[in-house]
Amino acid sequence: IAGITQAPTSQILAAGRRMTLRCTQDMRHNAMYWYRQDLGLGLRLIHYSNTAGTTGKGEVPDGYSVSRANTDDFPLTLASAVPSQTSVYFCASSRGPYYNEQFFGPGTRLTVL
């Protein structure tokens, strides 16, 4: 692994189903982030983690949860998917939460029907 990987690449999901998007980084970065990207709205922060064991809410956290059990992994869970959660989801990481560039994964395209 080099950088950040996300899985799955794409997914079609029935409304009401539970879904976990996976994100793994091998750069030993302390901070990790989940964004959603929607046409006309740009990137919006869903949740973030400044270091393993801590998480925080971003701009649009409702309907999503995250955990950060270790440095490398930062899964995003949709407990009960709704069509408005159809989006492209990007995971990112940075060395620390301050003054640092973010490295992005390739994204997961999620469609909720």
Partner 1 sequence: SQQGEEDPQALSIQEGENATMNCSYKTSINNLQWYRQNSGRGLVHLILIRSNEREKHSGRLRVTLDTSKKSSSLLITASRAADTASYFCATDYTVGGSNYKLTFGKGTLLTVNP
- Is 56 a residue that touches partner 1 (CB under 8 A)? yes
Q: By CB under 8 A, which span of 22-30, 37-45, 63-71, 79-87 interacts with partner 1? A: 37-45
- Is 74 a residue that touches partner 1 (CB under 8 A)? no
C-alpha 61/C-alpha 11 separation (Å) is: 20
Q: By CB under 8 A, which span of 18-26, 33-41, 62-70, 72-80 interacts with partner 1? A: 33-41
Q: Which of 12, 41, 79, 82 binds partner 1 (CB under 8 A)?
A: 41
Q: Which of 80, 106, 111, 113 binds partner 1 (CB under 8 A)?
A: 106
Element (H, E) at 87: strand 87-94
Q: DSSP secondary structure string, 35-76? A: EEEETTTEEEEEEEESSTT--EE-SS-TTEEE--SSSSB--E
- Is 102 a residue that touches partner 1 (CB under 8 A)? yes
- Judge contact between 112 and 83, C-beta under 8 A: yes
Q: Which amino acid is at 89?
A: Y
Please report, as ranges, the residues that interact with partner 1 according to CB under 8 A: 4, 35, 40-45, 50, 56, 59, 90, 92, 97-99, 101-107
